[in-house]
Each structure stands twice: as structure tokens, then as C-alpha cells.
Structure 1
């Protein structure tokens, strides 16, 4: 998100991209999570949890829900007791990265209790499964385990190619299908990696004053330590 829009709390991340529903590509790996998020307000509970590795699309789904529900977005590490105390009845809030090392578990547990008391709506995201070591607060662990959830697995080949095509198109870059296939087979399987890779390819092509060819792609892949087969 950029700026300080009415749908952001003061502790929302600056500079995060606003991602629309139209930009989200649905396929087998993310369909259950997409279906859960977009079924609001007919969720099975007032709080839901999304699991997925970095770059799997959790933030994009959170942004989609925020747009539809008029929700605010924050990172869990930025939550403070005063912020939670100021939440109105029936609030809608997406809280990302609840498994971050900087998160105060007591504050997160207070948020869950506040949502229950004030009938608020919560969408939480995490890259970590609930385990015996996380969270350390047992009641918080129990609440997270009982929460309706959806997993975002690594994207399949079709989605990776579609994302690459869209990202290149967004930058008005003409890239041969063969180059896209070459990159798709060798890149890390995440949407976040695709965004980073396309940005690097764009910069490399500009620096060289040439189009994005297979050698250019190979050089960028190697530099990013994504590697080749």
C-alpha cells in the first residue's frame, strides 16, 4: 500500500503494492484460499488464517479482501495495545506475518479476544505452521489451530507462466514464449520470486540496451542464485 489511505491503520507498511482482484490468477494451488477469502462475509468464522511461504500470494489475497470488506491492513509486528484498544465494534482488519520474530504474542492474543468481544473480522497470514514451539502461549496456539484456514502451496507451471506473462505485460516488455518457458522452468516457484525476477530482467535489459533474451535471462537467474537445471 502506498500513502496513508482511509483503509490503512497508521502502523500499515509504507510502500507495499496495492494488488487488485483482477490481477489475481486463480489455479489449483491457490483456489481453496481464494475461495475462502472471497466468500466473505459468509466465512465459517469471524477470523480466518492463510498459510503460505513468502511470495505465495498471501498479501495479494489480504489486499483483495481489504478492498471488498473495507478492511485495514497491518503487519503483526507493528500492532500495539493502543491500536487494538482503538478498534471499533465490527471492525475489519487483515494482519500479516503473525509468525514474525518481532511479534508480541500477548498483543496478538489480545487482538483475537478483542475481535471476539467486538464482533470484528480478522484475516491473518503466516508462513509458519502452528507447532509445539510456536506460538509459545498455549491459548493463542489453540485459537489458531481452531481457526478456519487455507494453505497456499507453490504455484504450478501454468500459473507461473501466466504470472510472468502478466508481469512482463505490465512493464510493456515483449518477451518470446521460449524465453518465458526457459525462465519458468528455472526460477523459484513463488509469485514473489517472479516479481523480483521480472524487475531484475527489466533493469538488466535497460542496462544492456537490448531485449530480454535467453542469455540475458540466464545471467540474471545466475546472479539471483536461482540457478539453472
Structure 2
């Protein structure tokens, strides 16, 4: 009779609170320009700062660091409306997150808000996964204003930053893994911090469900299931 192996455990997708402190942000060539502008505040030459980068690249982390320094409010772009523009513009510094995700965004309200903030010298930080020209903005004045904004783009991470972030993601989940696990993940995923986060989440869920610690063989099995194999073709080598 086939051994069913250790019993699988129930897993619960409990929310993991990410640590968004300044000391938790890992700086590398991919993000040092953006981080430098955050550090340069309040000596910005423009009122509006547009931060772009792919999902999971650290935009929200940088926005949180700046919001703490500037005592800024934070609001999703989708929630900016004609009804709250005056209120938002009257309360000092502001972070507007994910302007690219706001399919029903009120572009006229956003433009009005940026105008009011500029008049009152209140800094505004806007995050987006894509550049201005890819936002599909219908209001030309808003498009022009964002093109004139102070800007920085977070680039794909280099190998050193990717490995450091993978380690941090395990540490954030209070998971102790061998460096061979980190290497296995780093070698098989594309250079994306968002992908690294997704893979570590899947490894954590799988290990918890199996009642096992995360080892390299387990990591290789999960990565293979996700369609991520070693480019050298030696996944079976130990």
C-alpha cells in the first residue's frame, strides 16, 4: 500500500503586514535614483513627484518612507474625486497611489488637485506601474502636468539586490532557510521583485500545508510546478 506521506495541514491566507520602514528598504542600482530623491526632500525642484516601476518593485515602500518624513496623507488614485479635492489639497503633503490602476479615475479632479497643491506649495507623490505616455490619459492638461513632474523609475533589480530581497522576504515571514534555497529561487525566476514575493509566498504556503520546512528539494519542486526550471537544466542535481 502506498505511503501517503505526512498529513497535509490546513493553510490560511492570513495577511502579512510588510515592514515599510526606512531601515527595511534595500537600496541597489535599480532603485538608488528613486531613493535618492526621497532622501532629497524637501529640496525638490518641483511640487509633484511621479515614481514609476513594475508591480512589487518597492513603490509603496518608498511612498511610505516619504509619507512618514513629510507627514503625508495617502490615498488611492481611484478615490480622488471632485467632492474631496479641496479637502485633500488643504491637508499638506499627499501620496496618490496607483494612478495606473484607477480605471475609473477622475482625471479632471486629479488635475485640479495638482493645481491646488502647487498653489499652496504642498508636495504630492504619485505612484504608477507605467510611464505617463502609457497611462492613456484623456485630459491633456493632466498629461502635460505629469510630464513636467519630478520623476524617477525603479528598474529591474540586479542579481545582488534580487538575492537580498529574497532573503528579506523569508525573514519577514520568520522563515529560516538555507542559502541554497535562496540561490535556487534567484536562479530560476526573472529579475522581478514582484515575482520573488509571489514565489516566497507560494513556498511558505506549500511548506505550511505539508508540515515541512523549506528545503532546496521542496523549493525545486514548487518552482517546477510554477514552470520555473534551472536554465542550465540541472534541477535534479544536488
TM-score, structure 1 length as denominator? Answer: 0.86
* Distance in 2, Cα, partners of 1:91 & 1:225: 47
CA deviations 1:16-40 (Å, max 9, x no partner) are 7451111100000000000001211
* Distance in 2, Cα, partners of 1:203 & 1:228: 22
Q: What corresponds to 1:125 in structure 2?
A: 127
Give the number of the structure whose alpha-carbon radius of gyration is greater.
2
Distance of aligned partners of 1:211 and 1:17 in 2 relative to their CA distance in 1, 3 Å threshold: closer
2:164 aligned residue (162, 165, 172):
162
* Distance in 1, Cα, partners of 2:223 & 2:125: 34
- Where structure 1 has 5 or more consecutive residues not aligned to the other structure, the ranges are 1-13
CA contact (8 A) 1:188 1:226 kept: no
Distance of aligned partners of 1:226 and 1:75 in 2 relative to their CA distance in 1, 3 Å threshold: farther
* Distance in 2, Cα, partners of 1:21 & 1:77: 27
Q: What corresponds to 1:56 in structure 2?
A: 57
1:212 aligned residue (196, 211, 214):
214
CA contact (8 A) 2:50 2:152 kept: yes
Q: What corresponds to 1:200 in structure 2?
A: 202
Q: How many residues align?
A: 216
The 5 A counterparts of 1:103-122 are 103-122=105-124
TM-score, structure 2 length as denominator? Answer: 0.83
CA contact (8 A) 1:62 1:123 kept: yes
Question: Which structure has more RCO (C-alpha within 8 Å, separation ≥ 6)?
Answer: 2
SS at match of 2:83: helix
Matched, 1:75 2:55: no
* Distance in 1, Cα, partners of 2:38 & 2:221: 38
Distance of aligned partners of 1:18 and 1:77 in 2 relative to their CA distance in 1, 3 Å threshold: farther
SS at match of 1:95: strand
